[in-house]
A and B are shown apart, each in its own frame.
Chain A
Amino acid sequence: MKCIRWGLVKQQMSVQLLVRTLNFFSLSLFILQPAVFSAVGMLLSHAAGNDVPDLVYSVIGGGIMGMWSGIVFTSTYDITGDRRNGMLELITGSPTSLASVEAIRTFTNVLCGFFAVLIAFSAAMFIFDYSLNGANLWGAGISLLILLFAMWCSGVFLANFLAWSRISGTFVEYLEMPVAIFCGFMFPIRVLPDWMQTISGIFPIRWALEAMNESLLGMRDVRYLAEHWLLAIGLCLLLLVATNWLQNKVQDKIRVNGELSSI
């Protein structure tokens, strides 16, 4: 653990919270957006003929959606904002790698996003009388941890595209909804056509989320869950390898084309 610079982790998280997250507008992203998604999910569930809405996919799914949006939008703003105010150059020009800074930032964004999931859980339990009776809590807990790890891996991978150029942030924003659909944030993945399910297999978030949702719905098949967890962790590791490769490429590219700053 000595290789982790805890001082940097603490400082970067504090800066992240003070500069980007702890303000009314950013907090809305983690509260209002999940609430809207949850409401739409429940309306759709009702329209589909369900007397009792599926709280796991509609309400808690709304929270997951809020977490994902938080990661995508906050990470996008982190880099474009830093590029605009000259911080990206200063961070890159310091002995600390931009990759380390991005890793800590994304971790902070995941934790803030988790706040949205907690609110969604609370809303499901206290407003809509969702009960954890019958749920596989251990399975759901482990799946949630792996889900957070998968979200973090996906966030640090996407951060490379944001650093890539001055206009690449738009590309990452476009990915928000497709990833949400392919990973089944608000519906079971099995309702998707086969070809979409095949594509969704490359996202570690999909496997962790499926394991968590199934656990909340009472799944106790250890083999099923273990397969999902291993797939999620394996894909995360692959993503980290790709991230490392991409980071070196991006570092060279932005130093060649001079896109570290906005001017």
Chain B
Amino acid sequence: MKSLHTDSSHVFLFFIKRKESAVKLRLSVLCVPISNTQILSTYDRLGHLDFVALGRRGEMENPAIQACSLNKVFKTKIGLWKIKSKSTTAVEDISFEVERGELFGLLGPNGAGKTTTVKMLTTLLLPTRGTAKILGLDVIEQTAEVRKHIGFAFSGSRGLYNRLTAIQNLNYFAELYALEPKVTKKRIPELLELVGLNGRGDDRVETYSSGMVQRLHLARALLHEPEVLFLDEPTVGIDPVGSRELRQTIKNLISLKKTILLTTHYMAEAEELCNRIAIVNHGKIVVMDTPASLKKRVSGDSVIEAEVQSAKAPILLDTLRGLDGRSMVKLDHSAEPEKLCIRTAEPEKVLELLSPFLNPDYILGMEVRHQTLEDVYITIIQGEKE
């Protein structure tokens, strides 16, 4: 098979050499931008190759996920006698790209717009404005095609028939994704093993724990071997052991070259798993970077938390005024006892300043630790509130 497209100034050559088996085709040369004239001469010179395909720029190197100025406004009507229309903006101008094989995290408080974003990307919601592409396919115009390439799992026990067994559920979804019976028969035991449910496949889902249900969700989402996976708060409501097992399963998926978009509330989870993170609040991306860079963004890399006597807190705050502008001091009045939180790049100086007050009349207890992603998250979200 030979195909030639010469209607683009940026054309890529894909040379696929046939190996012993037709199935084992190897992609050997990628992405050489050349002119139309060059294409034809190059094509002639490459006549000895078994297969030459020329494609437009981007056909093979599209990011896995592209969201461009996504907006979602929900309109509702409220009132009985005097009906009013109310618009709620759930997502506002969200743009990001996720590369193939990347694990990208969407973090944010409840109602930030994470799930709405995921639902738009998975074709379950139509954006009010903006566009999104999955593997170069438009989620609005090429809905059916997008659905073949994505898998998604939402949190909680919803999304499975509880009166059916795990295998019956998976068989049903295999049909919805039009898998060949032979493939289904092979895939289901493999997936049950991958998610640690082998031996429980013939049990009704209603007998499963929350963690098992969540792992079954993952198996269901992987059934048709999607290139892109959306996991919406996969560890919500799962005990620590179950969460750890699920995180390990997600890591295994990354080694299988899957692209994953993960939404979560758990910072440790995001820090452990994600290559990059976007923190979303009030429907907007507030910040987007790698976990390490995010931690550097917020002032300092150490956190000192001191439980203080309320009456003496102003004295301590006054003492800490000597710190430079990169340090951040905050008194949490809502904590009991009141908590003084200092983020700083110079912890030695803080300790030196506080040392005269290290007695129960002033400071009841103190902890010095490295800054975590949770600290960064709280700083950003609280900063937004203020």
B312 beta carbon closer than 8 Å to chain A? no
Known A-B contacts A11-B175, A15-B168; A94 and B126 likewise in contact (beta carbons under 8 Å): no
Q: Are B124 and A89 in contact (CB under 8 A)?
A: yes
A260 beta carbon closer than 8 Å to chain B? yes
Q: Closest approach, in angstroms, between the C-beta of B179 and any C-beta of chain A?
A: 9
Q: Are B178 and A92 in contact (CB under 8 A)?
A: no
Q: Are B168 and A86 in contact (CB under 8 A)?
A: no
* Nearest neighbor of A6 in chain B, beta-carbon distance: B175
A241 beta carbon closer than 8 Å to chain B? no
Known A-B contacts A92-B124, A94-B147; A86 and B164 likewise in contact (beta carbons under 8 Å): no
A258 beta carbon closer than 8 Å to chain B? yes
A5 beta carbon closer than 8 Å to chain B? yes
Q: Are A15 and B172 in contact (CB under 8 A)?
A: yes
Interface residues of B in 107-129 (CB under 8 A from A): 116, 119, 122-126
Query: Which residues of the other chain, B, contact A5 by a CB distance below 8 angstroms?
Result: 175, 178
- Please pick, from B126, B176, B177, the residue contacting A255 in the complex, using a CB distance under 8 A: B126
- Please pick, from B147, B156, B176, the residue contacting A8 in the complex, using a CB distance under 8 A: B176
Contact with A along B37-78 (1 / 0, CB 8 A): 000000000000000000000000000000000000011000
Q: Are A12 and B175 in contact (CB under 8 A)?
A: yes
A164–B99 CA distance with the chains assembled, in angstroms: 36
B173 beta carbon closer than 8 Å to chain A? yes
Known A-B contacts A11-B172, A95-B147; A19 and B177 likewise in contact (beta carbons under 8 Å): no
Q: Are A89 and B159 in contact (CB under 8 A)?
A: yes
Q: Closest approach, in angstroms, between the C-beta of B114 and any C-beta of chain A?
A: 14
A18 beta carbon closer than 8 Å to chain B? yes
A90 beta carbon closer than 8 Å to chain B? yes
A96–B75 CA distance with the chains assembled, in angstroms: 29
Interface residues of A in 182-217 (CB under 8 A from B): none
A12–B163 CA distance with the chains assembled, in angstroms: 14
Q: Are A87 and B171 in contact (CB under 8 A)?
A: no
Contact with B along A3-42 (1 / 0, CB 8 A): 0010110011011001100000000000000000000000
Q: Closest approach, in angstroms, between the C-beta of B110 and any C-beta of chain A?
A: 12
Q: Closest approach, in angstroms, between the C-beta of B27 and any C-beta of chain A?
A: 26
Q: Closest approach, in angstroms, between the C-beta of B130 and any C-beta of chain A?
A: 14
Interface residues of A in 79-95 (CB under 8 A from B): 84-87, 89-95
Query: Which residues of the other chain, A, contact B176 by a CB distance below 8 angstroms?
Result: 8, 90-91, 94-96, 101
A252 beta carbon closer than 8 Å to chain B? yes
Q: Are A7 and B173 in contact (CB under 8 A)?
A: no
Query: Which residues of the other chain, B, contact A257 by a CB distance below 8 angstroms?
Result: 74-75
Q: Are A87 and B123 in contact (CB under 8 A)?
A: no
Q: Closest approach, in angstroms, between the C-beta of B127 and any C-beta of chain A?
A: 10
Q: Are B163 and A18 in contact (CB under 8 A)?
A: yes
Query: Which residues of the other chain, A, contact B181 by a CB distance below 8 angstroms?
Result: 7
Q: Are A95 and B148 in contact (CB under 8 A)?
A: yes
Interface residues of B in 76-132 (CB under 8 A from A): 116, 119, 122-126
Query: Which residues of the other chain, A, contact B125 by a CB distance below 8 angstroms?
Result: 255-256, 258, 260
Jot down 18 A-B pairs with beta carbons below 8 A, ordered by A: A5-B178, A8-B178, A11-B171, A15-B164, A18-B168, A84-B158, A87-B158, A87-B160, A90-B173, A90-B220, A92-B124, A93-B123, A101-B176, A252-B126, A255-B125, A256-B125, A257-B75, A260-B125
- Chain A residues packing against B (C-beta within 8 Å): 5, 7-8, 11-12, 14-15, 18-19, 84-87, 89-96, 101, 252, 255-258, 260-261
- Chain B residues packing against A (C-beta within 8 Å): 74-75, 116, 119, 122-126, 144, 147-148, 152, 154, 156, 158-164, 168, 171-173, 175-178, 181, 220
